[in-house]
Amino acid sequence: GRRVAFTGDLGFKEPSDILHRAWGDAGKARAVVSVIKEKLLPWNPEIVFTGHDSHPNGMEFITDLVRRSEDSLAKAAGTER
């Protein structure tokens, strides 16, 4: 009865983020962040399994991953959020 998401190697704990996982390709990273925000966050997963870990605080993990990723994308673009 719990919402569980399996994301594979989508994200790891800090300092990794989507831009890092996309090998520095900002366009790909933005697309992934967009899908996470549009599809995964509204689903409100309670538990998230990544490729090498589990996160029993699923929404907290995904929200933090998006924040870190957006910060990295802003820095890569030369702007601060």
Q: Where do we find the tokens 């699923």?
A: 58
pTM of the model: 0.87
| Res 60: pLDDT | 95
Q: Look at residue 42 and give its three-state secondary structure.
A: helix
Reported as a single tens digit per residue, the pLDDT across 19-67 is 888 888 999 999 999 999 999 999 999 999 998 899 999 999 999 999 9
| Res 80: pLDDT | 61
Name residues whose C-beta falls within 8 Å of residue 5's C-beta, 6 or more positions apart in sequence: 40, 43, 45, 47, 48, 49, 58, 62
| Res 75: pLDDT | 92
Q: Report the C-alpha gap between 68 and 64 in whole angstroms.
A: 6
Using the predicted structure, report yes or no on whether residue 14 has a pLDDT greater than 80: no
